[in-house]
Amino acid sequence: MSNNNKYSRETHLIYGKAFTTKWDYNHHVVPPISSSTTFRLDTVERGALGFSEFERIAEIPDTEPPIYIYDRLGEPNKEILEENLATAESGETAVTFASGMSAISGVLGILTKSGDEIVAHKTLYGCTFSLLNNWYPRYNIKTIKIDLTNPENLNDVITEKTRVLYFETPANPNLEIIDIEAVVKKVAEINKNRDEANRVKIVVDNTFATPYCQRPIEWGVDFVVHSLTKNIGGFGTDMGGVVIGKRKYRDILMLYRKDFGGVLSSKSAWPIMVYGLPSLAVRMQREINNAMKVAEFLAQHPKVQFVNYPGLPSFKYYEIARKQMIDFHGNFAPGNMIYFALKGNSPEEGREKGRAMMNYIAQNAYTLTLAVSLGHVRTLIEHPGSMTHSMIPPDEQIKEGIDPAGIRMSIGLENVEDIIRDLEDALKQI
């Protein structure tokens, strides 16, 4: 390979100078977007070593530069982001996925097989509910739903076949809070007489809180999953997901991702790594301050039935929230999500009023956007019963803790007085 003119000009269009001196990653302040699906191998032996190392990634010291082979196996942008996410959550390792749902299927995929059982809290994000209810029965994996706000309920449902205990805290959409410490203690009792292969593993979806507000691994859970699409990404430009846990699971998570294929695009890993995660703390702090004021405003409004916000002393789970939702310095960090419902003489009337308020907001409110998703710079508002949780049949919604009149808000970075003014105006209309 040389730079002489033995080769024709159209071939030069492909290879250029062949060896360029412009390739100096070590001095970039911001890592470049890596956009290579495949990687040049200097020798066949390097390729063979790369494949053999992939099978035992957990044993290779972090200080050794990896041998990249193919994007689906690993590439720099995802792996820098993974290091930073593991640090944020106090985990040993992180493996990213194409979306929150592919991360959830990834961790459940490595922990279960046909014949196993999953125990889950009754209130779950709609697609997680659908995964467990509509797909896993096909693979002979059964899910038992319980009210995990009382960890004693575990006594009735854990069997020899239980492999996973799965929950969100705060739960999507109603913000119910599970006492992580109490659940970990209960599961440790159950696991005492089980060998490693049969132990119940705890998986927590920490999307609502983000690592800024809560780090379940510090309480002893086995795995944390996130939708990076939400507050960690932060700007609403890219989808992503991550599983964080012990280093010994890195191999099998990477093998699962390789074969099931839900890889995070390097072009999506990049903005999450460069913009999202570095600004998480400042965004969350501002959103918490805003959410506190919005929750207080809603709680005193005569047309509002109830407000669930972990920062309100009147909230049923306030004490548990105070214990486990804390920032990196131990300060109370109750997050940016609010769930509330309007008064009505019946659930139907409450639901109708919610719908009317939402449609008014969609047309008239400058600082409230009717949209699903959450954790963006803009305040988003939605009606879970007919939007994010519509996969759950209406009669089951109430059982799963989803109020037909419930409205979910994700508070953004606006001036909070503007958000409150728009809410006040919308509440006047109904």
Ligand X SMILES: *Cc1c(COP(=O)(O)O)cnc(C)c1O
Nearest approach in angstroms of CB 239 to ligand X is: 5
Q: Specify whether the CB–CB gap between 34 and 75 falls below 8 A.
A: yes
Contacts of 422 (CB under 8 A, 6+ apart): 361, 365, 366, 367, 368
Determine, following the binding rule CB under 6 A, whether residue 408 of this chain makes contact with ligand X. Answer: no
Of the pair 175, 426, the CB lying nearest ligand X is at 175
Q: Which of 71, 89, 168, 176 binds ligand X (CB under 6 A)?
A: 168
Site string for ligand X, 45-84 (x = CB under 6 A): ----------------------------------------
Q: Which of 149, 227, 336, 397 binds ligand X (CB under 6 A)?
A: 227
Please report, as residue ranges, which positions from 117 to 136 form the binding site for ligand X (by CB under 6 A). 125, 127-128
Nearest approach in angstroms of CB 226 to ligand X is: 8
Which of these segments, 94-102, 147-155, 179-187, 256-264, binds ligand X (CB under 6 A)?
Answer: 94-102
Nearest approach in angstroms of CB 430 to ligand X is: 27
Site string for ligand X, 368-387 (x = CB under 6 A): --------------------
Q: Which of 74, 91, 100, 311 binds ligand X (CB under 6 A)?
A: 100
Residue facing ligand X at closest CB distance: 100
Which of these segments, 59-67, 99-107, 138-146, 347-355, binds ligand X (CB under 6 A)?
Answer: 99-107
Q: Which of 69, 81, 85, 101 binds ligand X (CB under 6 A)?
A: 101
Determine, following the binding rule CB under 6 A, whether residue 229 of this chain makes contact with ligand X. Answer: yes
CA dihedral 418, 421, 425, 427 (to 10 degrees): 110
Of the pair 227, 397, the CB lying nearest ligand X is at 227
Q: Which of 34, 112, 169, 172 binds ligand X (CB under 6 A)?
A: 172
Please report, as residue ranges, which positions from 178 to 217 form the binding site for ligand X (by CB under 6 A). 205, 207-208
Determine, following the binding rule CB under 6 A, whether residue 414 of this chain makes contact with ligand X. Answer: no
Which residues of this protein are in contact with ligand X, per CB under 6 A? 99-101, 125, 127-128, 168, 172, 205, 207-208, 227, 229-230, 239, 241
